Structure 1
Amino acid sequence: MGARISRDQRKLPPGRHGIPADQVADDQRGRILDAVVTAVGRRGYADATVEDFVSGASVSRKTFYQHFANKQVAFLAAFDDVADRLVTAVHTAYSAHEDYVSSAREALESTLRELAADPDAAVLGIVEVFAAGPEALRRRGEIIRSLTEVITEQTRNFPQTALGASFTAETIVGAVLEVLYNRVRRGEAEQLPELLPDLLFCVVAPFIGEDRAAEERAKAQRIATS
């Protein structure tokens, strides 16, 4: 699964090994979630099956159902895992800088790099979430709300935009997600880091103006090509 740090790298040896039962269970659950990401990323939510998850994780169907009630519950757990990594990266970036531009640059760079490193996870978290039912969409909405709040807080000292900081932040988050959706759906997840300069311009321009945003875009382009 690309460069994602797979739980398979910590896979326990088969047979009797004297490892505590809770550690075995954690390993099984992690391998199932890896298999969900792979299957959904490559086949789509509608066509992915529990059998795909079972075979991909090298566990029995009985073991699968000990951890997850059904396919959707397993998907939601995998989605939460992918989303938590991305949201944590964004929150870390915004908490590391008082300057909004620096925060936005680092948050975008981390997000794009993470998605590019694991195209299957990008498909699951950005595209296939729309196929997984109301609960998946509710969780996606919570993520949008969380990211909107982060940007609103970070830009509270800027002059108010015509539409207000919160609405502007919500628009920014929605626009970035739409761009990511289109690229990932076209199979271009690995090229996402190339979007950094242009996305940075769009994210910061409403708050700092187009002239300075253009300077930041040019700076990001120079760094990318150096």
Structure 2
Amino acid sequence: MDPKNLRSSDVLLLPGARTGRDPARSIKPGPRRQPAGVVAATQRERLLDGLVRTVAERGYQHATVSDICRAAGVTRPVFYELFNGKEDAFLAAHRFGTGVVVRRMAAAFAAESDWCAGIREALGAMLQLLAGTPSFATMAVIEIEAVGPAGRLERDQLLTRFRVFFAEVPQLPCGVRVQEMVDAVVGGVYSAIYRRIASGRTDQLPELLPVLGMFCLAPFLGPAEADRRLGSRIGEDPSCTRSDPATTQQ
């Protein structure tokens, strides 16, 4: 699916994109109240939004459950009906939001006919999403470390998901293992994004696209070839066309 053709109803927002107290999601009391499942789902969404914004503002260590509930307009008893505690809610917000990011990247990647253009479009989709929701970017990229071992495990599991975008890279010389190189590249991209967010320049993330595109292609194609493909209309270069998955180097 071409992300340019996504209907508004198909687009899932990142947690933190709306305020927890968004009037459009208020729960009306009385006999016409929504079904219990719908109410619980709405309260959960509001709590995730409230958590992301509170953690981005105060930091994970200083954000309290009461702060999160206040930002969401949801009571503490309801919070504990839905989550085991602050860490559980944080990880739920992280998983949901990063899932949205990865799916949007996958859609952008699949819309291109070649790997080079696909990588660039996937990176662009990620950078635009994070820049558009700075509270989620701060919560997911910066504050994840403050969660402790569970947060680091969650981050490591996320980074391995990005291997799928490099399934078609060519064989490397000198016995260098492709997966190890891919993991190094993914880690470098994450580090560059971290530094930009940590320095308060989240809105400038899309400016990283040229350098990150080069960083992702150069280890596998060489700097000169990566520059040529990024500088030309990549989709018109037959040497960058995706190979048959059955013969792709894993």
The two structures have a TM-score, normalised by structure 1, of 0.88
How many angstroms apart in 2 are the aligned matches of 1:52 and 1:215?
51
Indicate if the aligned counterparts of 1:161 and 1:206 stay in contact, CA closer than 8 A: no
How many angstroms apart in 2 are the aligned matches of 1:168 and 1:118?
30
How many angstroms apart in 2 are the aligned matches of 1:27 and 1:51?
18
**How much does 1:154 deviate?**
2.4
Hey, which bits of structure 1, 4+ residues long, moved more than 4 A?
216-220
Aligned residue number for residue 168 of structure 2: 154
Indicate if the aligned counterparts of 1:161 and 1:207 stay in contact, CA closer than 8 A: no
1:11 aligns with 2:25: yes
Which letter does structure 2 place at the counterpart of 1:28? Q
Of 194, 198, 204, which aligns to 2:207? 194
Aligned residue number for residue 29 of structure 1: 44
How many angstroms apart in 2 are the aligned matches of 1:99 and 1:160?
19
Of 187, 208, 215, which aligns to 2:228? 215
Q: Deviations over 1:93-119 (max 9, x none)?
A: 333335211111111000000000000
Indicate if the aligned counterparts of 2:16 and 2:135 stay in contact, CA closer than 8 A: no
**How much does 1:86 deviate?**
1.4
How many angstroms apart in 2 are the aligned matches of 1:210 and 1:119?
32
Moved more, 5-14 or 67-76: 5-14
Note the 1:13-162 alignment, pairs <5 A: 13-16=27-30, 17-148=32-163, 150-155=164-169, 158-162=170-174
Which letter does structure 2 place at the counterpart of 1:160? L
How many angstroms apart in 1 are the aligned matches of 2:142 and 2:173?
31
How many angstroms apart in 1 are the aligned matches of 2:227 and 2:116?
12
Indicate if the aligned counterparts of 1:94 and 1:154 stay in contact, CA closer than 8 A: no
Q: Percent identity?
A: 32
* Corresponding residue SS for 1:154: coil
Gapped regions of structure 1 (runs ≥ 5):
221-226
The change in CA–CA distance for 1:167 and 1:65 in structure 2 (over 3 A counts) is: same
The change in CA–CA distance for 1:91 and 1:210 in structure 2 (over 3 A counts) is: same
How many angstroms apart in 2 are the aligned matches of 1:194 and 1:84?
23
Aligned residue number for residue 205 of structure 1: 218
**How much does 1:217 deviate?**
4.5
Indicate if the aligned counterparts of 1:201 and 1:216 stay in contact, CA closer than 8 A: no
**How much does 1:180 deviate?**
0.6
Indicate if the aligned counterparts of 2:101 and 2:126 stay in contact, CA closer than 8 A: yes
Q: Deviations over 1:112-167 (max 9, x none)?
A: 0000000010011111111112112112111111212x134121xx2324422211
In proportion to residue count, which structure has more helix? 1
Q: Deviations over 1:17-36 (max 9, x none)?
A: 33101101100010000001
Which letter does structure 1 place at the counterpart of 2:126? T
Moved more, 129-138 or 172-181: 129-138
Which letter does structure 1 place at the counterpart of 2:35? P
How many angstroms apart in 1 are the aligned matches of 2:201 and 2:122?
20
Total equivalences in the alignment? 217
The change in CA–CA distance for 1:142 and 1:195 in structure 2 (over 3 A counts) is: same
Gapped regions of structure 2 (runs ≥ 5):
1-13, 234-250
Aligned residue number for residue 167 of structure 1: 180
